[in-house]
Amino acid sequence: MEQEIFVLNAELEARLGRINALRAIDLAITSSLDLPLTLGIVVDQVLSQLEVDAAGILLCSPQMPALEYVVRKGYRDVGAPGYLQRLDEGPAGRAVLVRRTQYVFKPRVVSTAPEESPLPEGFVTYWAVPLTAKGGVKGVLEVGHRSPLTPEPDWLEFLEALARQAAIAIDNAELFGDLHRSTLELSLAYDATIEGWSRAVDLRDHETEGHSRRVTEMTLRLARAMNVAEAEMVHLRRGALLHDIGKIGIPDRILLKPGPLTDDESALMRRHPQYALEMLTPIAFLRPALDIPYGHHEKWDGSGYPRGLRGEQIPLAARMFAAVDIWDALRSDRPYRPAWPMERVLEHLRSLAGTHLDPCVVEAFLAILSSEQPGPR
């Protein structure tokens, strides 16, 4: 009876260890996107729970019909991960091709050569379990032992359970990678479209070459100098590129008029921030970028438009952009005047602090511009 109790306790302890091993792998899968780390945990559990000499995981190579080691532990030949094994060489490749576990108990295995080749690493007992998920083979879980081993059925069941966990981890990593690539491609497409809109507005408004690009780059520099969170930069960039998108709604007879505008024409021109709001609000990913297109004509003293906001009621993005927009306009040649020298631009920006512009923004912007001025010789 004591002997039976001892055996039952040992079996219970082994089952509990295997349950904990599966739980540890589950936690790794759900809490980490680091595939080599997760697969390393799988291999560690294979070695500790199944008490074998060596284990490794190979993934199917997308470039060629081969398997590539990602994790390998317990091998005499340390060999760095990345070593390739052809699918037509050995039981690991056969496990992929036939989609079934390959078991070798003898120290020799049939290969593509006329004569038999011994198992690597001096293994006498060897398993190669295909890692299958959603109908596709992702790789192989390889287990080797250097002495004869006749496992119980539950040993084999646990080996296959570990292989399923590894396959899930690989599939999750692939899904996340595909999602990340799709998101990046979509974001790049969005930004390319925005830049196209920006160039179209510049061309229609006869802005100087590169105006939108220059004010965007400088606004981002100013924002970093004012410790704006990096997460906000993408919205700042989009807003700066689209600062005058509302001018699409202004008739050419007003937008391109060479002389002064009448009161009615000025009133219509001042509607372009409202047009920007109406154009961009329906586009969900551009709503966080609206502060600049809608607010960059507001003034610190409340005399701006379209809402007559005052002081810090004006979004910081719009306050920064307003200063940068003035700088670029004055530093560019126009049909009616040449570009101002930098010293005159700096002085003009100082004069606008507290009326047109936020004094803190002006101070930070002048520090950037002054640092680019050549010092005395």
**Residue 87 pLDDT:** 81
Cα–Cα distance measured from residue 162 to residue 143, given in angstroms and rounded to the nearest whole number: 11
d(CA 74, CA 48) in angstroms, rounded, equals: 11
The CATH number that domain 2-178 falls under is 3.30.450.40
Alpha helices in 32-152 (DSSP H): 35-50, 90-98
* Burial readout 230-250 (b: 16 or more C-beta within 10 A, e: otherwise): eebebbbbbbbbbbbbbbbeb
Hey, do 2-178 and 205-371 end up sharing a CATH topology, with the first three levels equal?
Answer: no
pLDDT tens string 71-88: 889 988 765 555 677 787
Domain ranges of the chain: 2-178, 205-371
Q: Is the pTM of this model over 0.75?
A: no
Residue 111: predicted pLDDT? 40
Which pLDDT belongs to residue 31? 60
Please enumerate in sequence order all residues whose Cβ is within 8 A of that of 147, keeping only pairs 6 or more positions apart, or say none: 124, 125
Give every residue of the chain whose pLDDT is below 50, as ranges.
Answer: 107-117, 376-377
The DSSP symbol for 142 reads E
pLDDT value, residue 332:
84
Q: What is the pLDDT of residue 236?
A: 96
d(C-alpha 313, C-alpha 110), whole Å: 79
Residues with Cβ within 8 Å of 150's Cβ and at least 6 positions away in sequence, in order, are: none
Count Cβ neighbours within 10 Å for each residue of 317-352 and write b for 16 or more, e otherwise: bbbbbbbbbbbbbbbbeeeeeeebebeebbeebeeb
Quote the pLDDT of residue 35.
Answer: 83
Which residue among the candidates 106, 138, 247, 257 is catalytic per the annotation? Answer: 247
Determine the CATH number of domain 205-371.
1.10.3210.10
Q: Which residues pair with 54 in a beta bridge?
A: 144
DSSP 334: B
The strand ranges marked E within the chain are 54-60, 66-73, 84-86, 102-104, 108-109, 117-118, 125-133, 136-145
- Note the pLDDT of residue 135: 80
Question: Is 138 assigned a catalytic role?
Answer: no
